[in-house]
Amino acid sequence: MKKTLLKFLVAVLAILTFAVIFFRSDPKQQIVREAYIYGYPLVTMDMTRRQQTNVREPDDAHAPMGQLIKMRAYPAVDNKGAAAPNADTMYTMVWYDVSTQPWVFSIPDMGDRFYIMPMLSSYNEVFHVAGSRATSGKPQKFLITGPGWSGSVPEGLTQVKSPTALVWICGRIYCTGTPEDYKTVHQLQDKYESVPLSAYGKPYTPPPGVVDEKFDMKKAVRKQVNDLPLEEFFSYLTKLLKTNPPKPEDAPIVARLAKIGIVPGQDFDRSKLPVLGKKLDPKLALLEMVETMKAQKPVNGWLYWNSNAGTYGTDYAQRAMVTLIGPGLNFPQDAMYPFSEKDADGKAYDGAAHNYVMHFEKGGMPPVKGFWSLTMYDPEFFFVPNPINRYNLSQRNTFVTNQDGSVDFYLQAESPGKGKEANWLPAPKGKFIPMLRLYWPNDTSPSILDGSWKPPGLKRAS
Task: Answer whether residue 305 shows pLDDT above 70.
Answer: no
Residue 33 in contact with residue 289, Cβ under 8 Å?
Answer: no
Strand order in the sheet with 89-97: 69-70, 89-97, 166-174, 115-120, 126-131
The predicted pLDDT at position 355 comes to: 98
The predicted pLDDT at position 307 comes to: 61
Q: Which of 22-31, 149-158, 208-217, 249-258 is least confident?
A: 22-31
The predicted pLDDT at position 5 comes to: 39
**What mean pLDDT do residues 253-261 have?**
96
The predicted pLDDT at position 9 comes to: 38
The predicted pLDDT at position 324 comes to: 87
424 falls in which pLDDT band (50, 70, 90)? very high
SS (H, E, C) the chain: CHHHHHHHHHHHHHHHHHHHHHHHHCHHHHHHHHHHHHHHHHHHHHHHHHHHHCCCCCCCCCCCCCCCEECCCCCCCCCCCCCCCCCCEEEEEEEEECCCCCEEEEECCCCCCCEEEEEECCCCCEEEEEECCCCCCCCEEEEEECCCCCCCCCCCCEEEECCCCEEEEEEEEECCCCHHHHHHHHHHHCCCEEEEHHHCCCCCCCCCCCCCCCCCCCCCHHHHHHCCCHHHHHHHHHHHCCCCCCCHHHHHHHHHHHHHCCCCCCCCCHHHCCHHHHHCCCHHHHHHHHHHHHCCCCECCEECCCCCCCCCCCCHHHHHHHHHHCCCCCCCCCEECCEECECCCCCECCCCCCCEEEEECCCCCCCEEEEEEEEEECCCCCECCCCCCCCEEECCCCCCECCCCCEEEEEECCCCCHHHHHHEEECCCCCCEEEEEEEEECCCCCCCCCCCCCCCCEEECC
Instruction: Please give the residue that has the higher pLDDT: either 80 or 187.
Output: 187
The predicted pLDDT at position 105 comes to: 98
Task: Answer whether residue 420 shows pLDDT above 90.
Answer: yes
* Cα–Cα distance, 293 to 289 (Å, whole number): 6
**What mean pLDDT do residues 299-317 have?**
85
The predicted pLDDT at position 329 comes to: 87
Task: Answer whether residue 304 shows pLDDT above 50.
Answer: yes
pLDDT tens for 433-450 read 999 999 999 999 999 999
pLDDT tens for 59-76 read 989 999 999 999 999 888
Task: Answer whether residue 7 shows pLDDT above 60.
Answer: no
Burial 364-380 (b: 16+ CB within 10 A, else e): bebbbebbbbbbbbeee
Residue % of the chain over a pLDDT of 90: 77
* Cα–Cα distance, 357 to 355 (Å, whole number): 7
**What mean pLDDT do residues 260-274 have?**
93
* Cα–Cα distance, 338 to 299 (Å, whole number): 9
The predicted pLDDT at position 19 comes to: 46
The predicted pLDDT at position 294 comes to: 66
The predicted pLDDT at position 318 comes to: 87
How many Cα atoms are found within 13 Å in the side-chain-facing hemisphere of 252? 6
* Cα–Cα distance, 425 to 417 (Å, whole number): 12
The predicted pLDDT at position 216 comes to: 95
Query: Quick one: 225 exposed, middle or buried, by C-beta within 10 A (0-12, 13-18, 19+)?
Result: buried
The predicted pLDDT at position 279 comes to: 56
* Cα–Cα distance, 448 to 337 (Å, whole number): 11
Q: Could you give all domains of the chain from N- to C-terminal order, each with its CATH number? A: 24-202+212-296 (2.60.40.1610), 338-460 (2.60.120.1600)
pLDDT tens for 69-115 read 999 998 888 876 667 888 999 999 999 999 999 999 999 999 999 99
pLDDT tens for 362-416 read 999 999 999 999 999 999 889 989 999 999 999 999 999 999 999 999 999 999 9
* Cα–Cα distance, 147 to 180 (Å, whole number): 42
Q: What is the mean pLDDT of the chain?
A: 90
At residue 255, φ and ψ (nearest 5 deg) are -65, -35
Residue 98 in contact with residue 167, Cβ under 8 Å?
Answer: yes
The predicted pLDDT at position 127 comes to: 97
Within 10 angstroms of residue 383's Cβ, the number of other Cβ atoms is 23
* Cα–Cα distance, 210 to 455 (Å, whole number): 45
Residue 121 in contact with residue 166, Cβ under 8 Å?
Answer: yes
Within 10 angstroms of residue 284's Cβ, the number of other Cβ atoms is 18
Task: Answer whether residue 282 shows pLDDT above 80.
Answer: no
15 falls in which pLDDT band (50, 70, 90)? very low
The predicted pLDDT at position 10 comes to: 45
280 falls in which pLDDT band (50, 70, 90)? low
The predicted pLDDT at position 462 comes to: 79
The predicted pLDDT at position 428 comes to: 96
**What mean pLDDT do residues 207-228 have?**
93
The predicted pLDDT at position 16 comes to: 42
